[in-house]
Amino acid sequence: MAKRGGYPGGMPNMNMNNLMKQAQKMQRQMEEAAKELETKEYTATAGGGAIEVTVSGKKRLTKVELAEEIVDPDDIEMLQDLIMAATNEALTQAEEDSAQRFSGLTGGLGGGLGGGMPF
């Protein structure tokens, strides 16, 4: 008589246990990757290197360096634009690094998980 339903070999919890172990392993890897990313720094420049900014993996601005010649009291708007451009580029680097790291761990499933990840 043929078996109907169930799992071959009669061990219905075996596959579920393996799945749970894999999920726990992936969660540990994601936590480790998040901690590692938090310690990284991303630097970008604007104005031909006259402005350099650094952001942390936590996406916080940590350093701004300005070349003296870029500081023109008559053109504050240009200075503001360059700082903003360099900061946005550094933040983009941090976001791309984070997305690359986590898509490797999740096999590209991150977009369909409903978001909520703090990285």
For the chain, percent of residues with pLDDT exceeding 70: 76
pLDDT tens, position by position, 39-93: 899 999 999 999 999 999 888 999 999 999 989 999 999 999 999 999 999 999 9
pLDDT of residue 48: 93
Average pLDDT, the chain: 81
Q: Count the neighbouring beta carbons within 10 Å of the beta carbon of residue 32.
A: 11
Beta strands in 2-96 (DSSP E): 41-46, 51-56, 61-66
List the single range of 30-44, 54-68, 99-113 with lowest mean pLDDT: 99-113
What's the pLDDT score for residue 114?
Answer: 45
SS3 of residue 54 by DSSP:
strand
C-beta separation of 47 from 70 below 8 A: yes
pTM of the predicted model over 0.75: no
